[in-house]
Structure 1
Amino acid sequence: MTNKIKEKILLELETWMDEHEYSANEFAEKSGVPSSYLSYMRRGQHFIVVDKKEVAIDDKYFRMIAETIEYNYSNELKWSIRQTPQLVQMLSVLEDAKRFGYTNIIIGGTGAGKTFCADIFVKQSPKDVFKITVGSMDTIGDLIDKLCEQMRLNVSGSKTKKINAAIKELLRMKLNGRQPTVIWDESEYMKQATLCNVKEMHDHLHGKCALILIGTDQLKTKIERLKSKNSPGMPQFYRRVKYGIRELKPIDTRYKEFLAGIEDKKLVQFIQRECENYGELRDALLPAMREADRLGEPLTENLVRKVLNLPKMTA
């Protein structure tokens, strides 16, 4: 990595810290870059003093900064944001929830861009928005630990103690004029006990902190089934979230927001025929777009087929 690139990364860092109101210590904790290294780097020094000797700061720390602030210093071709109906709708729900402290459940099809949109939202307010990805094996204890880690809370002890500490911190943020938001992505994997835990958080935080569950229709089906079975805590949970459920519009598989600039009409037809959602569209196009950029060739169906290791188009 050249010094010119390092200097550019550090300039972008200063802009990012000012924009998001991060202190040096907060950024060091978020990025994992040692605070002493960060201090040297921000002063324009690429060396640290160890045993009275100057030692170069490893390039990895500059890369860690760039990754944290999402600065593309290598000019690698990235997937650009498109104003899909689902993205516009979801951002509107998230913004309202953050502003008013709503509890919402966002339901959308697989590959509709739910995680992509949630990540955009986190980037807009990295200090106030905490996103947790729910795993299929996660217990309630695992998710509480993930939340405390996201909030940088060093709490030990019981699950109750940890969740109370998280609630207390979220309330403190609200009192300080901030708009805390907790997002659980892929919430269809949530177990009944975790859903009841969300109810508990809602009871303490409604109007003060947004609580968002994001998932497929499997999540809605699970909640309704548990409620109809009168499972412990679920009728109460359903009563609190019933009018907070938001379903995203179905995907228009003509993909006009993505395909408008593609000249190869056969490629457009291929994508519309083969891709069922935005996720598949990205997986099909992005590697081929990068290869076309590397080769200086136009983006065509045959190039996409080549990159994806599919049979070549016949005449």
Structure 2
Amino acid sequence: MNKQTKENILTNFEFYLDEKDLSANEFADLSGVPANYLSLMRAGKYTVPAGGGKEVEIGEKYFLKIADTIGFAVKKAYWKTIITPQMKQILATLEDAKEFGYTNIIIGETGCGKTWISDLFVAQDPRASFKVTVGSTDTINDLLDKICEVLKLPLNHSKSKKITSIIKALKTKRENGLKPALILDEAEYMKQATLCNTKELHDHLNKHCALVLIGTDQLEAKLDKLRKKNRDGVPQFYRRIKFGIRRLINIDTSFKDFLTELDVQDKDLVKFLQQNCENYGELHDVLVPAMREADRLQEPLTLNLVRRALNIATV
């Protein structure tokens, strides 16, 4: 990484701190870049003492961490943010929830951009917006640990104390003039016990903090199944969020807006993408490596190039 790129990153970093009203120490927590490194970088110094009177260069990885946190593209960005109907729905739901402290559930197809869009939303207000991803093997304790980690809370407590700490931390942010939001992504993996504890979070955070679960229709089916079986806590939770469920419209697999914005002109390639890609995620997985290869070879983006780049056999 050359000096000019580093300076460009740091210029945009300063704009980011000002726009988000963040201190350097807060940014250090967000990015994982040591605060003393940030101080040196901002002073135009790109080395650190290494003992014995020697200096070593601050690692490139720290500049990349800054760039990633502020959304600055160091390399050419091949994928563009397209304003899809799903994006409008997700952002409207998240913004309302954040403004008024609602609990919502967003249900959408795999690959419609739920994770991508919620990441963009969180990045707009990193002081008050938090997101964790639910794992397929996560217990309630695992999930509480993840929430505590993003909120910078101690982990060495019982489950009930962790829940109390989470509620207190988020309420305090609202009291301090912020509009907190907690997003649980891939919530279809939540187990019954976890859903019950989510009810407790809702009961205490309602109108104080947005609580948004994002998942596929598997989440809604799970809630409905557990509700009908009268499993502990689920009917009560479902009653509270029944009218807070937001179902996203289906993906338009003509991908018209994407193909226009990305300037995909080869008619055979357009036809291939429309016949073989079921969602935006799959479209991304085909086009991005192919566009990189097209740049490397200085060739137009065609179906033949895509087949070569992805090693797809001709049928």
Deviation at 1:207, TM superposition (A): 0.8
Give the whole-Å Cα distance in 1 for the aligned partners of 2:294 and 2:50. 46
Q: Which residue of 1 aligns with 2:90?
A: 90
Give the whole-Å Cα distance in 2 for the aligned partners of 1:129 and 1:307. 39
Deviation at 1:296, TM superposition (A): 2.1
1:142 aligns with 2:153: no
Deviation at 1:266, TM superposition (A): 1.0
Give the whole-Å Cα distance in 2 for the aligned partners of 1:96 and 1:32. 30
Give the whole-Å Cα distance in 2 for the aligned partners of 1:49 and 1:239. 59
Letter in 1 for 2:288: L
Worse-superposed segment, 165-174 or 110-119: 110-119
Q: SS of the counterpart of 1:33?
A: coil
Letter in 2 for 1:66: A
Letter in 2 for 1:147: I
Deviation at 1:50, TM superposition (A): 4.2
Q: SS of the counterpart of 2:246?
A: strand
Give the whole-Å Cα distance in 1 for the aligned partners of 2:310 and 2:2. 34
The answer to whether the 8 Å contact 1:77/1:290 transfers is no
Worse-superposed segment, 84-93 or 137-146: 84-93
Letter in 2 for 1:61: Y
Letter in 2 for 1:32: G
Q: Which residue of 1 aligns with 2:35?
A: 35
Q: TM-score, normalization: structure 2? A: 0.96
Letter in 1 for 2:68: E
Q: 1:275 aligns with which of 277, 287, 295?
A: 277
Give the whole-Å Cα distance in 1 for the aligned partners of 2:116 and 2:65. 21
Q: Which residue of 2 aligns with 1:24?
A: 24
Give the whole-Å Cα distance in 1 for the aligned partners of 2:59 and 2:265. 44
1:66 aligns with 2:71: no
Deviation at 1:294, TM superposition (A): 2.1
Worse-superposed segment, 262-271 or 132-141: 262-271
The answer to whether the 8 Å contact 2:98/2:210 transfers is yes
Q: SS of the counterpart of 2:131?
A: strand
Q: Which residue of 2 aligns with 1:199?
A: 199
Query: CA distance change for structure 1 residues 78 and 21 in 2, over 3 Å: closer, same or farther?
Result: farther
Q: TM-score, normalization: structure 1? A: 0.96
Give the whole-Å Cα distance in 2 for the aligned partners of 1:160 and 1:304. 53
Letter in 2 for 1:290: R
Q: Which residue of 2 aligns with 1:159?
A: 159
1:286 aligns with 2:291: no
Worse-superposed segment, 60-69 or 218-227: 60-69
Task: State the Cα RMSD in Å.
Answer: 1.3
Give the whole-Å Cα distance in 2 for the aligned partners of 1:197 and 1:109. 25
Give the whole-Å Cα distance in 2 for the aligned partners of 1:148 and 1:161. 11
Give the whole-Å Cα distance in 2 for the aligned partners of 1:215 and 1:209. 19
The answer to whether the 8 Å contact 1:306/1:312 transfers is no
5 Å-filtered alignment, 1:1-315, equals 1-51=1-51, 52-73=53-74, 75-260=75-260, 261-312=263-314
Deviation at 1:155, TM superposition (A): 4.1
Give the whole-Å Cα distance in 2 for the aligned partners of 1:102 and 1:193. 22
Give the whole-Å Cα distance in 1 for the aligned partners of 2:241 and 2:233. 13
Letter in 2 for 1:284: V
Percentage of identical aligned residues: 57
Give the whole-Å Cα distance in 2 for the aligned partners of 1:282 and 1:63. 23
Q: SS of the counterpart of 1:179?
A: coil
Q: Which runs of 5+ in 1 are unaligned?
A: none
Q: Which runs of 5+ in 2 are unaligned?
A: none
Give the whole-Å Cα distance in 1 for the aligned partners of 2:296 and 2:176. 49
Letter in 2 for 1:205: L
Letter in 1 for 2:197: N
Deviation at 1:76, TM superposition (A): 2.5
Deviation at 1:208, TM superposition (A): 1.0
Give the whole-Å Cα distance in 1 for the aligned partners of 2:278 and 2:47. 51
